[in-house]
Structure 1
Amino acid sequence: MTALDQLIIAPIVIPTIVAPLALLAMRRRRRVGVALSLAGCVLMLLAALALFGMAQDGTIRAYPLGDWPAPFGIVLVLDRLSAIMLVLAAALALIVMIHALVTSVDRKGWHFHPLFQFQLLGLNGAFLTGDLFNLFVFFEVLLIASYGLMLHGQGGARLKAGVAYVIVNIVGSALFLIALGLLYGLTGTLNMADLARRVATLGAADQGLARVAGLLLLTVFGLKAAVVPLHLWLPRTYAATMPVVAALFAIMTKVGVYAMIRTVPLIFGPGAGAAAWVPAPWLMPAAILTTITGFVGVLAARGMREQAAFALLGSTGTLLLAVACWTEATTAAALYYLVHATLAAAALFLVADVTMRRRGQYGDAIVAGPRFVGQQAVGLLFLATTIAAVGLPPLSGFVAKLFILQSVSTNALSWVLWATVLGTTLIGVVGFARSGSALFWKAKADGDPIACPERSRAELAAPMALVALLAMMTLFGGGATAQAQAAAAQVFAPQHYLNAVLGNAR
């Protein structure tokens, strides 16, 4: 292992150190705590970019903690897929953090910054771990942090939604542990690479239990991704929490999808016998229903945050339409769309935050109200983010959906997938057009505009940065799609992963 390989642990070490330091500093020297948190986000982005650069040579790198060899020790694994997810999480975190500081949202509670860092610790660990039990541990870290962040700013509706959110995730954690127990009992290991080797050699008598364990795992990941019918917690939770927190949470549903992409081709691929491709029978219809439910919710929503939550749900369904085909081409399209959908959903929540701050008592309700300061600029920003969210040109949503439609064209259900994507896109356009006209075009002309002298243009910086990233994904679409294709090729060549992690242990 070279000195440069030691950088693999940086995305975990940085928030682990910054979170307690920020907690200690906040009470007496708040500015120091804030500076530490912001610096941690910057360092994480730099480390993620460095790791992304390392992954460009196509080498899969394993980092054995404590120098214990796999499968006996804990191992972190860096490949193209994990590098993409690390960069996405770090970039989103920095933009959201800047928005929280500009709008002073972080001042509504003493523990915002430590919880924010622990959330990043859980996300980064989930992307890097090569062990299913540690995936469970990092899931719990990010969930515990999300409980606190979800309640940030207090409020009755937030507390009610938070209780439901906690209960749902406790059930998911219990199912996760049951699945891990079954797999460990069958194979004697939870290292992903070692599991891939051992599941493939299970006898016929154990194949049924392996299939049950795989289905339980996919149920847990589907719950995290808010797949229908396991989605009911998401609209209420994301609409009730503060928009800046919901913007960070935009990546949390993608953690569930990431876990599917990471585990299914590796552990439950073609060599897994009766457990091969365990999600195949149910994931596709669930993805179709999730897409339809999400965009119908966009049409029916009565508030901007609720609309953004349903758009996030619909984008997850669209993403899973490609994932559920389980081919290299569709996975590449899914990875490109995953990055786009995360940024677009976060932008919707931040635009909702900016709008409700300027509309006074009208908040984010989708009803016509008096004109407000900065209405034209916010309206243009809303237009850009909704264009991205529904997948219209010229932003990356159009490229992403075109990529998905092209990749599924050889699937037996291609006509169903095309109809779902195009039909829900139309529903999304109508839904966002309805809300945009009510919020920014049909504003009441009588009376003076709502005065918001404390609002500054700096509040527009974070959503504008997200729109700029979406535009860059379009301008540099060739490079972005090439990265997605290279990552998908690694996912569907599991032998390289096994060789990198197990080495001589095989």
Structure 2
Amino acid sequence: MNALIVAPIVLPAIVAALSVLARGRRQRVGAALSLAGCVGLLAIALALFAQASGGAVSVYTVGDWPAPFGIVLVLDRLSALMLLLNAGLALVVLVHALLTGVDRKGWHFHPLFQFLLTGLNGAFLTGDLFNLFVFFEVLLIASYGLMLHGQGAGRLKAGLQYVVINLVGSTLFLIGVGTLYGVTGTLNMADMGLRIAALPTGDRGLVQVGALLLTVVFALKAALLPLHLWLPRTYGGTSPVVAALFAIMTKVGVYAIIRTTTLIFGAQVTGPLMLPAAIASVVIGFVGVLAARGLREQAAFGVVGSTGTLLVAVALFEPRALAAGLYYLPHTTLTVALLFLVADLIARRRADHGDAITPGPRFASMGPIAVLYLLAGIALAGMPPLSGFIGKLLILKAALAHQAAPWIWAAILGTTLLAVIALARTGSTLFWKGRAGEMRHGAVSRLDLLPAVALVVLLGALTVGAGSVTGFMDAVAGQMFAPRGYIEAVLGQAAVR
């Protein structure tokens, strides 16, 4: 039993508790604790990633109660990948918050930030459905507070909508889990997969009901059409720093779909419905990018469109397509986070115009920020030479033999053109139509650019190392479509004989 597996959950929870004590004059102590916690979390994620990359599935049984009766945390290639992505993004976003002073607009930023990481890491590691629900609730409660950080009437209105929609989702989650437990008598995902395969035909209808309910909940988290309407207002209404961290929250829904589909339900339940919804999400998302009036709104619709592209690959439900989608997953997460951070850099330098896509006076560091926006736009549109081009090309190639290939190709290529037009128009409005001789400086520093530059570097590494990365993603997809190793690690070899 590998005790290090529990560290990504325990560490941010402890840091969050300690940060609560650091208020008022001791707020810098809370910031230092949070930064140290993120650095430690990244080190742990790297160690776990190295451990899982060889293909071994590791299990931690809480309280030493064996599965399926006890709580288990499971580490495989996919969960290790998500932990590493979450830790890296969290560190970059936190540094941006510290440099720009966003964390000081409220007392509870750092505790909420760390509790959100606790929920995210728990969702990636848990081996049973009920604790997946528990960790979803942990991250959602933390996200409610972060979403309202900085206050404002518009933010409060969007936050109320966000809370109500997620309460409905949580209710459906419990109903789905209860239905599946009533049929199978277990909540452990590995055990449930075995029991569903052995069920008589008369019980499979209830299994399909439970599977569809859970898939609806996960699709809501992933902002899959028509369950996407909450996301543009929520992400566009909160602070850009918080929205940058929220870029990975839609991927929790994608992760849950991949995990439950390959391990428990199979594609026959969700496949016919998911692919049309994913294609429509791609179109609606990038039409929203074209129609957006503000940078945060544009980035929010970019989340919808790029997550739809990712789910197109997932919905094809075959190893090569899943590997292509998994390569695109870190790309879209880092790209959208980059767009939100660049939006923040621009808005703080255009006090009168904010992030509105309107001409305004020239501002400090305009040249470097224009380059960052250009790179973010190239990445979101999926143009060469950055990794978005490679990811989209892999997805298109994987879809060639599918009967819906013409629709997939038309949606992805057509929306790529829409994204190019939208982002080019925004860039020219912000950086070429500014009035000369009215340079605004304000309390800004070039040091503020470092987190955004770090994300560009990570995207560059994903591009330069595409061969190695795609090889690893092939291994991840292969492991997901051969769940026997996962089940044996959780339940023992005797369970699958």
TM-score bracket relative to the smaller structure: over 0.9
Cα distance, 1:28 vs structure 2: 4.5
Q: 2:485 aligns with which of 483, 488, 496?
A: 496
Asked if 1:309 is matched to 2:306, the reply is no
Alignment of 1:39-438 (within 5 A): 39-269=36-266, 277-438=268-429
**Secondary structure at the residue paired with 1:324?**
helix
Q: 2:464 aligns with which of 475, 497, 501?
A: 475
User: Is the contact between residue 390 and residue 429 of structure 1 (CA under 8 Å) also seen in structure 2?
Assistant: yes
Q: 2:454 aligns with which of 465, 469, 489?
A: 465
Residue identity in the other structure for 2:10: V
Unaligned runs of 5+ in 1: 270-275
Cα distance, 1:277 vs structure 2: 2.5
**Secondary structure at the residue paired with 2:438?**
coil
Residue identity in the other structure for 1:450: R
The CA distance in 1 between the partners of 2:53 and 2:424, in whole Å, is 41
Deviates more, 1:174-183 or 1:402-411: 402-411
Spell out, residue by residue over 1:315-350, the C-alpha distance to the aligned partner (whole angstroms, 9 max, x if none): 010001100000011110111101100000000000
Cα distance, 1:79 vs structure 2: 0.3
Identity %: 62
> What TM-score, normalized to structure 1?
0.97
**Secondary structure at the residue paired with 2:439?**
coil
Spell out, residue by residue over 1:51-106, the C-alpha distance to the aligned partner (whole angstroms, 9 max, x if none): 00001221111111111100000000000000000000000000000000000000
**Secondary structure at the residue paired with 2:59?**
strand
The CA distance in 1 between the partners of 2:449 and 2:400, in whole Å, is 39
The CA distance in 1 between the partners of 2:494 and 2:97, in whole Å, is 47
- When residues 155 and 505 of structure 1 are mapped into structure 2, their CA distance, relative to the original with a 3 A threshold, is farther
The CA distance in 2 between the partners of 1:56 and 1:144, in whole Å, is 32
**Secondary structure at the residue paired with 1:278?**
helix
Q: Any runs of at least 4 consecutive aligned residues in structure 1 with deviations exceeding 6 A, and if so which?
A: none
The CA distance in 2 between the partners of 1:195 and 1:367, in whole Å, is 54
The CA distance in 2 between the partners of 1:28 and 1:252, in whole Å, is 32
User: Is the contact between residue 14 and residue 44 of structure 1 (CA under 8 Å) also seen in structure 2?
Assistant: yes
Residue identity in the other structure for 2:441: A
Asked if 1:450 is matched to 2:446, the reply is no
User: Is the contact between residue 22 and residue 36 of structure 1 (CA under 8 Å) also seen in structure 2?
Assistant: yes
Deviates more, 1:151-160 or 1:390-399: 390-399
The CA distance in 2 between the partners of 1:476 and 1:26, in whole Å, is 43
Spell out, residue by residue over 1:168-218, the C-alpha distance to the aligned partner (whole angstroms, 9 max, x if none): 000000000000000000011010000000011111111111001100010
**Secondary structure at the residue paired with 1:389?**
helix
The CA distance in 2 between the partners of 1:111 and 1:279, in whole Å, is 39
Deviates more, 1:246-255 or 1:476-485: 476-485
Residue identity in the other structure for 1:499: E
The CA distance in 2 between the partners of 1:451 and 1:488, in whole Å, is 49
The CA distance in 1 between the partners of 2:383 and 2:350, in whole Å, is 28
The CA distance in 2 between the partners of 1:362 and 1:231, in whole Å, is 28
The CA distance in 2 between the partners of 1:71 and 1:417, in whole Å, is 40
The CA distance in 2 between the partners of 1:349 and 1:403, in whole Å, is 26
**Secondary structure at the residue paired with 1:95?**
helix
The CA distance in 1 between the partners of 2:420 and 2:440, in whole Å, is 28
The CA distance in 2 between the partners of 1:196 and 1:293, in whole Å, is 34
Cα distance, 1:504 vs structure 2: 5.2
The CA distance in 1 between the partners of 2:381 and 2:324, in whole Å, is 16
Q: 1:14 aligns with which of 11, 19, 28?
A: 11
Residue identity in the other structure for 1:59: A
User: Is the contact between residue 265 and residue 277 of structure 1 (CA under 8 Å) also seen in structure 2?
Assistant: no
Residue identity in the other structure for 2:438: D
Spell out, residue by residue over 1:350-394, the C-alpha distance to the aligned partner (whole angstroms, 9 max, x if none): 000000011121111001111111111111110011101110111
User: Is the contact between residue 26 and residue 34 of structure 1 (CA under 8 Å) also seen in structure 2?
Assistant: no
User: Is the contact between residue 228 and residue 287 of structure 1 (CA under 8 Å) also seen in structure 2?
Assistant: yes
**Secondary structure at the residue paired with 2:73?**
strand
Residue identity in the other structure for 1:15: P
**Secondary structure at the residue paired with 2:435?**
coil
Residue identity in the other structure for 1:91: G
User: Is the contact between residue 70 and residue 505 of structure 1 (CA under 8 Å) also seen in structure 2?
Assistant: no
The CA distance in 1 between the partners of 2:3 and 2:83, in whole Å, is 16
Cα distance, 1:448 vs structure 2: 2.1
Unaligned runs of 5+ in 2: none
User: Is the contact between residue 264 and residue 277 of structure 1 (CA under 8 Å) also seen in structure 2?
Assistant: no
The CA distance in 1 between the partners of 2:110 and 2:470, in whole Å, is 34
> What TM-score, normalized to structure 2?
0.99
Cα distance, 1:505 vs structure 2: 6.1
Cα distance, 1:409 vs structure 2: 1.3
The CA distance in 1 between the partners of 2:439 and 2:22, in whole Å, is 41
The CA distance in 2 between the partners of 1:29 and 1:377, in whole Å, is 35
Residue identity in the other structure for 2:328: Y
The CA distance in 1 between the partners of 2:310 and 2:491, in whole Å, is 31
Spell out, residue by residue over 1:424-455, the C-alpha distance to the aligned partner (whole angstroms, 9 max, x if none): 0000000101110100011123x421232x10
**Secondary structure at the residue paired with 2:402?**
coil
**Secondary structure at the residue paired with 1:449?**
strand
Asked if 1:32 is matched to 2:29, the reply is yes
